[in-house]
Amino acid sequence: MPRTGKVKKRPIKVEPFYKSRLVTRFVNRVMEQGKKKTAEKIVYGALRNLNEDKKEALTLLEKATKNVMPSQEVRSRRVGGATYQIPMPVRHDRSEALAVRWLIQAAQARKGKPMVEKLTAELRDAAEEKGEAFKKKVNIHRMAEANRAFAHFRW
């Protein structure tokens, strides 16, 4: 039975300290087992390590996120018994969500340091267009480019 009705998108609340939706997204993504205070400590600590000035730290966070946001992705689609990787444009909303997810996963994958330092390092790398999260975006774009021949299957 197919689903009916549209799911309403819940608005993301602006986080009080930095007054940024992006910081809220990071906090919610870092959070594990409902421990929001711990997640806030990690994200705020990482931002403080990036730069003492709040505005400058927020600018660096936005730059890092923007550098990791993909403009295209590949989706699998079955056509006549074969599965094709079809390049699709990514909406801004999903693009930002992917960037936040990749940044945090890349930070978690680093070893031997507290999460605050790992997240700081990953954000710094992403702002300079390097690091694991940025590589992931480049790989996704490369796959989309390689499969451009199948773009006509997008409908």
| Separation between Cα atoms, residue 122 and residue 46, nearest integer Å | 10
Listed range (55-69, 75-89, 91-105) with the worst mean pLDDT: 75-89
Indicate the fold that domain 21-153 takes in CATH. Answer: Ribosomal Protein S7 (1.10.455)
Q: What is the pTM of this model?
A: 0.90
The mean of the pLDDT values for the chain is: 92
Distance between alpha carbon 72 and the CA centroid of its chain, in Å? 14
* Residue 107: per-residue pLDDT: 95
**Domain boundaries, given as residue ranges, for the chain:** 21-153
Interval 126-144 mean pLDDT: 94
On the question of pLDDT at 92 being above 70, the answer is yes
* Residue 57: per-residue pLDDT: 93
